[in-house]
Structure 1
Amino acid sequence: MIRTSRGDRVRTKAVSAGRRGLGGRFRRSVPLALPVGWGAVAVAWKFGCPLARQPGLPVRIATSIVFLTVGTGLVLGVRRQLRRELARVRAVAEATQQVLLRPPPARLDGLALAAGQLSATRGASVGGDLYEAVATPYGVRIVVGDVRGHGLAALGAVVAVLGSFREAAHDEAELGGVLRRLERALQRHLRERARDEHPALGKGDPEHPVAEEFVTLLLLEVRADGRLAVLDCGHPAPYLLGPRVERLPVGEPLPPLGVLPLPAVLVPHTAARLLPGETLVLHTDGAEEARDRRGRFFGFEAALARSAGRPPEGVVRQTHEALLRHTGGRLDDDVALLVVRNDRVRVPAQPAEPGLRRPRPAPSTHC
């Protein structure tokens, strides 16, 4: 048996990687080889062939055809290469965006879920909106938020908030503890951005003042009995689709994260329930503030009423289609929807089994 040292293995891997890199560069240069070869032949023919230097219209036409063919081939080769590179970049971007804003599971602890987002940035499937739903020992916990602004510039805050929520939702027994973890994660992100954009030795104001960045957020917990616990940080209240469409009460709203510190005591609002068969629609403000070319607002509540009775994925799809028709496909802000339907079955009280005696009442002690 021949044993190889670690250094040999490292050098072997380096050589293999170098060969793969050379092979990749060679494959990328193949589409350009043909037009470059044509160009070399055309230049050699123009300056080395005596016939090409002779005057006359036929020679000029032939020379023009040769150079036009070469130029067309070169443009097509470059275009094909750019399209391949763009396809690879889009595939990587879509995979990254799916990991960042992953779709929720279709069913989660007896709840049916569906979500979707429309980005105002062309070519991006995520922007400044965020959502997530996880099953925990304390109930199904859901977050929906909206970072100030939209598009790819807001992804840093989205990553900070979602990453913190995915851990805190399982670790914190109280919903208020989850919200404080999100606040601390956003503060760390803003401090890091401040150091990057406006270092101590730099001069002038940062291009995007961090002091103006904040996140509106709705934190919700669906407990086993359908009772809802809600903490609202300046976010639009969700809609409840039951016998009619109505706003869900969320209690006194808190300031958005990043604007003011949270109060010392956080008490979730627990006066509402999600009964079996009812649907809850959480959204960002882009759904209610979307306008058409005449400046008319989108009838979000009416669109939800038309989709009542549909499954969650049907509510998301029909609402998005109505929104795109109203705006002509031109959105000024990102739009995120997360729809939750309670599919838990309410079990009625069971009668006592036959043969089991009911306990006798205690005898009276009165004379």
Structure 2
Amino acid sequence: MHRSEHASAGRDHSVSSGTTTQKTISYQSAGVDIDAGDRAVEALKPSIKKTIRPEVVGGIGGFAGLFALDTEKYRKPLLASSTDGVGTKLVIAQKLDIHDTVGIDLVAMVVDDLVVCGAEPLFLLDYIATGQVVPEKIADIGAGIADGCRYAGCSLIGGEIAEHPGVMKPDDYDISATGVGVVEADQLLGPERVKAGDIAIAMRASGLHSNGFSLVREALFGVGKLDLGTVVPEFGNQRTLGEELLTPTHIYAKDCLELAKECDVHAFAHITGGGLAGNLVRSLPEGLQIEVDRGTWTPNPVFDMVQRTGGIGIEEMERTFNMGVGMVAIVAPDQVDRSLAVLTARHVEAWTIGEVTEGGAGVKLAGDYLTAG
């Protein structure tokens, strides 16, 4: 369960040898503060408790997280697992000293990969590595992770806080997580279910999500010399560039599960690194294709800002960023209206972007994006 990486605390002390006194070193003098790690774990406990599902066994602080799979509920359960991180979006969080939103990003990157196959996210374990443990900062990160787990309906049952002095700068940190979900074998979603005539439905992204931030930082701060505190009118509500960049990744897990429950869904595609074409193709069987109509949506304003400021070509933009589409559902043709109604009821902006056809392979992006206004 959540703990620091250290087994016991050391203290500086002196050893007398004849007339000389030799000062020995300790874990703390080497840069690892066990007490700070313990305080960080204690600060995380209230957030973790809010995520606990009935299947969680035991409390917080053991060596392993336990989760009792309800064998009476499932006939032939398949366990699904996924692991991911947030990437260099953390640089923005560290510069702004805002640390809770990236915890939501972390959960989204894991659970929305799980749900692609139809799996319900059950539990998640996280890993936080930092140059120096600051309990308040760790608590903020953990609170964001806990919020993300609540949005996804899964439990945060364990993790690790590792202090790496001399390897990482004191203010630096990195986070990752592994999630586990479950799906009935006969309800497994994927390319083998997709047929010609199926319709692709896009779900709006909340922004950049958590991919491509190395290119974002080069475009906006390397080329554009912009400031994170700059108010950008296109973002609305006096929103700064920093606030927009830290917009948390939308978590689609519950939306997708509800859609699969109510409608005949054949596959999902989580649009992350590789963009729309690079991820949607992973949900298509050989011999079938989708021509995506760019003219059905306008990308979020932040994409235009990144492209214009950095002078980036459209092909590079589309293979790096989601361009406003965070998740795609591929549904039976007679399920389109019902699917859109389910997503609308869940306050997810959704629209059709293309049809699965024979006579080709892969994903083609056609037409021009709608312009704002």
Question: Taking CA–CA contacts closer than 8 Å with sequence separation of 6 or more, which of the two structures ends up with the larger relative contact order?
Answer: 2
Q: Which TM-score bucket, shorter chain as reference?
A: under 0.3
Structure with more of its chain in strand, by fraction: 2
TM-score by length of 1: 0.27
Structure with more of its chain in helix, by fraction: 1
TM-score by length of 2: 0.27
Which of structures 1 and 2 has the bigger CA Rg? 1
